[in-house]
Structure 1
Amino acid sequence: MLAALRAAAAAGTRLASVCVGAFVLAEAGLLDGLRATTHWVAAEQLARAFPEVEVQPDVLYVDNGQILTSAGAAAALDMCLHMIRRDLGSAVAANAARMSVMPLEREGGQAQFIVHEHPPVPRGSDLEPLLDWIEDNLAHEVTLAAMAARVSMSERTFSRRFREQTGTTPLQWLLRARVRRAQYLLENSDYTVERVAQQAGFGSPTAFRERFRKVVGTTPYAYRSAFNGRRVNGVRVPR
């Protein structure tokens, strides 16, 4: 199969991958020196396995001309519409989008919706009680000094120990926790964006929107539109 892919590429055939299909193209050597994407869950593994590939984990698809790669299955449809538009024009692509009951306007650079988990903490870590306390107090002001005091350490020692055990800084962990709380509230409540910002501990709605877009890759409104739903007989359905 790898030989067939290489031969097709050498003959000028356009090749496109869906989701983790990028691993096959990379194994064939067809992505070396190129930008590529895959489903965000597998992006880190792709980058480790094929360091010659410039992996972009937060986009829907990448078009290198002859070689294209896409994220998950839905992003592959965006990639296909992009190829139709490129080959046959916007009118034909728009008709294909209508027939597929999907939007035409999502470009390749739009961000994937990524679940940003906290860096793992080793079991039995002396930081576990502190992290639970942070989660319980996200709506309130949580300072570096307060965190260090709860574990009876100086701020400098605490910051070093925290990075050793989590791979990130206390304040970065706190911001990520607040974004995750905001994601949960956007998905499961009808709170206004202003109230979500308050409940997640952001100083202002503006600061919340800026941080949310930076971490998640989209606005709180767009995220809610994609993921918020209501329940009918206990089953979650789109609004």
Structure 2
Amino acid sequence: MTPRPLPTSPAPHRVVALLRPPQAPFPLACATEVFGDHGPAIPARYAFELCTEHPGPVRTGAGYDMVVTTGLEALERADTVLVPGWHQPPGTEAPPAVVAAIRAAHRGGARVVGLCSGAFLLAAAGLLDGRRAATHWARAAELATRFPQVRVDPAVLYVDHGDVATSAGSAAGVDLCLHLVSSDQGAAYAMRVARQLVMPPHREGCQLQYAELPTSGPVADSLAPLLEWLSGRLDQPVSVAEMAVRSQVSARTLTRRFSEQLGISPGRWLLDRRIAATRALLEETDLSVETIAGRVGLSSAVNLRRRFHEALRTTPAAYRRAFRAERAG
């Protein structure tokens, strides 16, 4: 069935994307695909423009340059200012001129949106003070450390405050952009755009990123044998005292080593591994929650559900359904 024509809009909503080298190509592509030109099938309701602090070639993280001819003055006429990722080396500050331009645009009524690491610039401008914010799960701890006044939520896809919005990484940027289109232009228009992008029409911002839980990563020789031993015994209860005996150190020394090398306690590390194993079994098998609880050392279905919800804010059944639906799609 041919969709009904959508009404035209006399005044396109101006979206200005602020770039900085090395620009991440993917979040910019997410914004371009949603707010850019969709051809004659979908009436143009957005005018999409790029700007940068220093017009000219802008290096990307993929090794090629983009020529951006417009400077920060473009933000003065924006209805939405969009930051599609932001490279800010540790120990450095955001450029004062950029921060001032972002603040001025916000004061002037522009909506300011940060995709993925774009939240770092919004935080530097003070637009996220006292507010919840999303960013890529792998950088959530860094954002929280650098900007303690921001309430970083490492799990959700996006957070929209109306005047300010932030998203998690990768495809979550598309989710936020489609959400904004729906807010601006209505669900029918957003659904038409999503269909052209071969995307689901809507995912709620509160949906989880479902990122990998923390693992040990590279660790010193003093912990590596213990972590390998624990990983092979997830179905068994293991106390910190037993871990200490296995490592031939005191429980206090073991706890200090975990804190120094992994940033968490021994018990927390072990629980994270049990939750990660639970997720793998939910994704890859049809085992019951009770059976999974026994295999990952969480003793009962009740305990597994409680721990799983604390970690991921969803139930095992909902998690399994989400991944089955994603795989089927």
> TM-score range with shorter-chain normalisation?
0.7 to 0.9
Structure 1 match to 2:290: 194
Kindly, what percent of the aligned residue pairs are identical? Answer: 47
Q: Tell me what 1:130 maps to.
A: 226
Letter in 2 for 1:43: A
- Give the corresponding residue for 2:267: 171
* CA contact 1:119–1:168 (8 Å) conserved in 2: no
Q: Is 1:238 the counterpart of 2:323 in the alignment?
A: no
Q: Are 1:16 and 2:105 matched, yes or no? A: no
Helix, strand or coil at the partner of 1:15 = strand
Instruction: Work out which of the two has the higher radius of gyration on C-alpha atoms and give 1 or 2.
Output: 2
CA drift of 1:105 comes to: 5.8
Q: Which has the higher mean CA deviation after the structures are superposed, 95-104 or 31-40? A: 95-104
Contact 1:114/1:216, CA 8 A, preserved across alignment: no
Q: Deviations over 1:135-172 (max 9, x none)?
A: 11111232334323323455555545554554333222
> In structure 2, how many angstroms separate the alpha carbons of the residues matched to 1:131 and 1:44?
23
Using a 3 Å threshold, how does the CA distance of structure 1 residues 26 and 144 change in structure 2: closer, same or farther?
A: closer
Residues 194 and 109 of structure 1, relative CA distance in 2, 3 Å threshold: same
Partner residue of 1:55? 152
Whole-Å separation in 2 of the counterparts to 1:165 and 1:62: 32
After the TM superposition, which residues 139-218 of structure 1 pair with which residues of structure 2 at under 5 Å, given as runs? 139-153=235-249, 155=251, 158-160=254-256, 162-218=258-314
**Structure 2 vs 1, CA of residues 26 and 156 (structure 1 numbering), >3 Å: closer, same or farther?**
closer
Counterpart residue identity of residue 220, structure 1: P
Could you tell me which runs of 5 or more consecutive residues in structure 2 were left unpaired when the two chains were aligned: 1-52, 54-97
Check the 8 A contact 2:112/2:164 in 1, yes or no: yes
Q: CA deviation at 1:209?
A: 1.7
Task: Answer yes or no: is 1:30 the counterpart of 2:132.
Answer: no
Please give the alpha-carbon distance, in whole angstroms, between the structure 2 residues aligned to 1:71 and 1:90: 22
> How much does 1:134 deviate?
1.2
Please state if 1:46 is matched with 2:143. Answer: yes
**TM-score (structure 2 length as normaliser):** 0.59
Q: CA deviation at 1:208?
A: 0.9
Q: Residue type of the partner of 2:150?
A: V
Higher helix proportion:
1
Offset at residue 102 of structure 1 (A):
4.6
Aligned equivalent of 2:215, options 100, 118, 124: 118
- In structure 1, stretches of 5+ residues that fail to align are 230-236
Count of residues paired in the alignment: 231
Contact 2:179–2:202, Cα closer than 8 Å, also in 1 = no
Distance 1:133-1:45 versus aligned 2 partners, 3 A rule: same
Q: Specify which structure has the bigger relative contact order, considering alpha-carbon pairs within 8 angstroms and separated by 6 or more residues.
A: 1
Change (3 A) 1:178 1:69: same
1:21 aligned partner, one-letter code: G
Seen in structure 2, the aligned counterparts of structure 1 residues 23 and 131 have a Cα distance that, compared at 3 Å, is same
Instruction: Note if 1:72 corresponds to 2:169.
Output: yes
Give the match's secondary structure for 2:171. Answer: helix
Q: Are 1:108 and 2:226 matched, yes or no?
A: no
In the TM superposition, residue 176 of structure 1 has moved relative to its aligned partner by 1.2
What's the CA shift string for 1:115-151, capped at 9, x where partnerless? 11135574221x3322221111111232334323323
